[in-house]
Structure 1
Amino acid sequence: MPSDSLESASRTDLLHRARAADITGRSSMSKPQLIASLRERDRSAWDEERETRDQRGGEVEGDGRRRVGARVEAFRRLAEARARGEMVLLPRMLGGNDRRTHVRETVREDHETRIASGDVEAVEKFDKLARSVFHFFRGTNLLFYRDVLGEDARMPTVLGLGDVHPGNFGVMPSSDDVPVFGVNDFDDAFYAPFTWDLKRGVVGFMLAAAEKSGLGRKKQRTIAERFVRGYIEGIAAYATDSTEQDEQLRLDNAPPMIADLIGRALRHSRSEWLAATLLDEYGTGFRADDELVPVSSRRAEFQALVDRYVRENEVSVPARAGAMRVKDVAERKGAGTASLGLTRYFVLIEGPLADGTDDLVLELKRARRSALVGLVPPSEFEVDGQGDRIRHAQRVHLVNGDVFYGSVDLDGHSFMVRERAPYRDDISLGSLSPGGWKEYAAICGRVLAHTHAMSDENGLIDYDVEPAIMDAIGGHDLFVDDLVRFAEEAVARVRCDHDHFVADHALGAFRRVDVVYR
């Protein structure tokens, strides 16, 4: 609010504004005190909005007087109102040109820095999203969650994955350097109602089954049902036997489909993987190609960074990592869907043999604020910091996960750190039969249940999660039907949104950001 507007307002008007801003102690304040409190509230809201834009990619343009348009606080207020039970207009209720404009503004807002900087990979990302409805869904998480803002406030809170879809489950290293299967992307992890992960998951499975395997609506619905029932079965089991703290899906105990995946991932040795995909012909550093751009001049800088990362994350360095000596550094290009265009580095750590056959590769990826921030129903469960939040989620969700998973600050930004292992792999979705899709969906539902069950073991939740979730689910058939009907509506909306995006992209809509002119 402009200063002259505050100064000229009556005390009664100021009290109304203070009530709307939820300023405590307002009734006992004098007019100057009310003005000062409202100004401070405005400054705090602007600072928080600016921080959110910075973390998710936003920035103030040019001379500082023209700022990029953002609706973070507006959606936060809507989410809080809906969580209180108030009737609010949800973006998913919009249609026609209003919805098209909303899609455009949200995509621009979510990619502000990448658009404003003219990042080549941002253009590549938009091209990728335009070619595929499923990739569009994967790359527009903020758009999805603004449609469910404040929803399910009465439901039990868990540490959610934040971006559940069939491509975010896979094989990765455990703390013992043994391949395990589980959730493998924690970028948007956040404390939220347990139903939020399920809602994104059912939509993701239906879209992927349609696009990757050409399955029709009836089969998509069956696959979505199997995903939800797999989740329910998992939660019910953990509520009864409390085995979640010890459970890992390994080669010796995984279902046949997952055991086959782990077995295939183990076919290549570390030395073969390094030589075939990453190292130069001498094994002394990274090769240069379209995906890897060596920046060997920064070795000393990254050595200091790695040393600090080990200290700050209290990493128990295994013998296979030697002295954590940095051999080389490279920028990683073209990786990811949602994160395409965010800075990534590969750091080559010399192994004990020092001959290029047993080196380790650490990946550093710039972390952003979760898409769920300000949209979930308010709760006391929240983790500050971007890389710290992602590290927290990995350590909660996985039993004895990657020992190198952590976070570190670089160039003024938060980066998450993890190991790139030779056996990191995931299911080829396009090769799944209808029966394979149902089996895989049920497995992933059970895996998601395990991650949620860990919320009160290693996470911040201070009550027994599994019985609370089972009680909230109630009748299984109705719960499943509710989620699948939600998914069918959401899938139709994603397809329509994709059409809007494709049309706008062809017209050059994502070459610029929305700027506030007055």
Structure 2
Amino acid sequence: MAGSTNNTKSNGKTGGTGKEQSSTTRKETVTKAAPVIKSEGRVGSFRTLAERIASGEQIVPPRQLSGLDRRNHVRSTLREDHQTRIEERSAGARDKFKKLAGSRFSFFRGTALLFYRDMVGSDAHMPTVLALGDVHPENFGVMPNKEGVPIFSVNDFDEAVYAPFTWDIKRGAVGFWVGAQEEGDLSRKQRRKIIRHFVNGYLDAMTDFAENETEKKDAFQRNNSPKVIKRLFDEAWEERKDWLWSDYLEPTGRGFRADDELEPVSSQKEKFQKAIDKLAKDNGIDVTHRVGELKVKDVCIRHGQGTASLGLPRYYVLLEGPSKNATDDIIIEFKRARTSALEGLTPPTEFNAGTEADRIAHGQAVQLAHGDVFYGAIEIEGTSFMTRERAPFRDDIDLDELSKKTWRKYAYVCGQALAQAHALSDDLGRVDYDVEPSIVSACQPRELFIEDILRFTVETADRLKTDHIDFIEDFKTGAFDSIDFVYR
């Protein structure tokens, strides 16, 4: 594509909508005949586009592009979204692109910015909630609550932002559609039933919350979960001692082992001890019965984790447990925070979740009532990290093990869990009106609402199929070895 090179860095500046940001704007001269001039990127134009669409103007959004125009849009968006990783020649960047090329479901999961630019400014008439931002069947799972007890709920808050509630439902519906096709090999008719169960689970739960106001009490635990989730609780459970020694510790138990996934960096213990101390202070953590003095035993870099965040810095911090015999240690994850893929694309709203790690921590605090006390935001040497506990039972479902019937049941439960997260937006979040009855009213007539979600899902999944085919061809020809920049 004209305007790219393998050897020259971009002079563009990304921010807001693009998740990886350059700290400065650089001016370079390639030749006297072709000067490289300052480029502001496409972030500002997309923010303006969101405002114009939300105001009712008739504008062609990128989802209506076709042919080479659409292909160039996909290519530029992915380059922008991974600018830092591409510029730094990160091994994780190429690993991520290989993963995206490997399956359409991975491509869907790893290209949230592309998905939301297609939705730019839409659904401005719908009630606002603190949206999860990246709903799909693998972003629900079992995790620890504030007491370390396993619960089932939404489990990824990296994209959390205030947005119309329909944005989460639409991304979730497409996620279930693509996941059921690739992981379950299910027909379109079967997938339509799954989407119906997902949306009905959401609407049934939201109606119940509107009537009974139980959203702060209704966390799924093993004793009150349907069979499909009880099975997940049982499969996820592992004794902490066995988990630590089989997956993380070196033979003496004094620190992390070294392998392809774990790279010990014990020299950074002091730096992360300060971060843990600050996290404990900021969060008011009082779990001495679980981690004693919050002493850092070791630190490692975790390689190859995640899909959207693959290639970004991620650390595991080992805290010594009360027994001091490496059987009850705790692992805290530090993952570099990114700008939300929804930033600048949603209809204008007065509600603000904050920026980077603070925004992610706010999302967890609101959407996961009584959740992990180690979920928080920490800045280390100028870089923003989100934190959370890794636990023996932190797990999500194996989609390829679901039968046709359990796919529908699982989708229904996930719809319920998403409704609970949204319903907390006016209890613990910054929404200043009664969310539940507003959403129930906005979804009437119910059958029309569900059919519209299905129509959106089918159209988006068909477009995703074409985008993925074009992406694979572009990747093979080196389109993502460089980033976009402007010559003149």
Say yes or no: TM over 0.5.
yes
From the superposition, tell whether residues 59 and 218 of structure 1 become closer, same or farther in structure 2 (CA, over 3 Å).
farther
Whole-angstrom distance in 2 between the partners of 1:200 and 1:150: 15
Once the two structures are TM-superposed, the CA of residue 301 in structure 1 deviates from its matched residue by 1.4
Residues 424-435 of structure 1 aligned to structure 2 (within 5 Å): 424-435=394-405
| Equivalent-residue separation in structure 1 for 2:157 and 2:206 (angstroms) | 20
Question: How far apart, in 2, do the equivalents of 1:430 and 1:123 lie?
Answer: 26
CA distance in 1 between counterparts of 2:81 and 2:455 reads 28
1-structure distance, mates of 2:40, 2:104 = 27
Alpha-carbon deviations, 1:411-455, whole Å to 9, x = none?
211100000001111111001111111000111011111100000
Matches for 1:291-330 after TM superposition, within 5 Å: 291-330=261-300
Task: Output one character per residue of 1:159-217: Cα deviation in whole Å (capped at 9) or x when no partner.
Answer: 00000000100000011110000000000011000000011011000000000011111
1:94 corresponds, among 46, 52, 65, to 65
Q: Which residue of 2 is the match for residue 189 of structure 1?
A: 160
CA contact (8 A) 2:92 2:311 kept: yes
Within 2, Cα distance between the matches of 1:270 and 1:228?
36
Aligned position for 1:469: 439
Instruction: Specify the alignment match of 1:421 in structure 2.
Output: 391
- Which whole-Å CA distance do the structure 1 matches of 2:101 and 2:13 have between them? 29
Alpha-carbon distance, 1:54 to partner: 8.1
- Which amino acid in the other structure matches residue 221 of structure 2? R
Give the AA of the match of 2:486.
V
Sort the Cα spacing of 1:49 and 1:154 in 2 relative to 1 into closer, same or farther, 3 A.
farther
Aligned partners of 1:467, 1:50: CA distance in 2, in Å? 39
The answer on whether the counterparts of 2:113 and 2:341 sit within 8 Å (CA) in structure 1 is yes
Alignment partner, residue 46 of structure 2: 75
**1:453 has 2:423 as partner:** yes
SS in 1 for 2:350: coil
Counterparts of 1:60 and 1:412, CA distance in 2: 15
For residues 130-141 of structure 1, the aligned pairs below 5 Å read 130-141=101-112
Alignment correspondent of 2:124:
153
1:332 has 2:302 as partner: yes
Structure 2 stretches of 5 or more lacking a match?
A: 1-11, 29-35
For 1:12, the equivalent position in structure 2 comes to none
- In the other structure, the counterpart of 2:230 is 259
| 1:377 counterpart residue number | 347
1:388 aligned partner, one-letter code: D
C-alpha contact (below 8 Å) 2:314/2:335 kept by paired residues: yes
Distance 2:355 2:255 in 1: 32
Q: What is the distance in 2 between the residues matched to 1:67 and 1:392? A: 35
2:80–2:483: 8 Å Cα contact kept in structure 1?
A: yes
Instruction: Confirm or deny that 1:198 pairs with 2:169.
Output: yes
Counterparts in 2 of 1:96 and 1:467: CA distance versus 1, 3 Å: same
Match of 2:33 in 1: none
Contact 2:142-2:150 within 8 A present in 1 as well: yes
Pair 1:487-2:451 in alignment: no
Distance 1:388 1:412, change over 3 A: same
Whether 1:279 and 2:243 are equivalent positions in the alignment is no
C-alpha RMSD over aligned residues: 1.5
Instruction: Encode CA deviations 1:269-299: one digit per residue, 9 max, x unaligned.
Output: 1000000000001100000001000000111
**1:410 Cα deviation after fit:** 1.2
TM-score, normalised to structure 2, is 0.94
For 1:56-75, list aligned pairs within 5 A. Answer: 56-58=20-22, 60=24, 70-75=41-46
* Alignment of structure 1 residues 202-213 onto 2, 5 Å: 202-213=173-184
Secondary structure of the structure 2 residue equivalent to 1:511: coil
Maintained 8 Å contact 2:17/2:340:
no
Structure 1 residue 308: deviation in Å? 1.8
Normalised by the length of structure 1, the TM-score is: 0.89
The answer to whether the Cα contact below 8 Å between 2:279 and 2:374 also exists between their aligned partners in 1 is no
Letter in 2 for 1:445: G
Q: Which residue of 1 aligns with 2:314?
A: 344
* Equivalenced residues, count: 470
For residues 177 and 38 of structure 2, what CA distance do their matches in structure 1 show? Answer: 39
Structure with the larger RCO, 1 or 2 (CA within 8 Å, 6+ apart): 2
* SS class of match (1:166): coil
What is residue 142 of structure 1 aligned with on the other side? 113
Q: 1:174 aligns with which of 126, 129, 145?
A: 145
Contact 2:50/2:345 (8 A) holds in 1? yes
Cα distance change of structure 1 residues 54 and 322 upon mapping to structure 2, 3 Å threshold: farther
The 3-state SS of whatever aligns with 1:516 is coil
In the alignment, which of 367, 381, 389 is matched to residue 397 of structure 1?
A: 367
- Residue 9 (structure 2) aligns with: none
Amino acid at match of 1:416: M
Partners of 2:207 and 2:440 within 8 A in 1: yes
Deviations 1:336-393 (A, max 9, x none): 0001011000000000111111100000000001000100000110122211111111
User: Relative to structure 1, is the Cα distance of residues 66 and 350 closer, same or farther in structure 2, using a 3 angstrom cutoff?
Assistant: farther
Match in the other structure for 2:16: 52
Q: Percent identity?
A: 50
Distance apart, 1:304 and its partner CA: 1.5
- Structure (1/2) with the larger helix percentage: 1
Q: Is the 8 A contact 1:293 1:330 kept in 2?
A: yes
Q: CA deviation at 1:62?
A: 5.7
Does structure 1 residue 356 correspond to structure 2 residue 326? yes
8 Å CA contact 1:247–1:399 kept in 2: the answer is no
Q: CA deviation at 1:58?
A: 3.9
Rg (Cα) greater in structure: 1
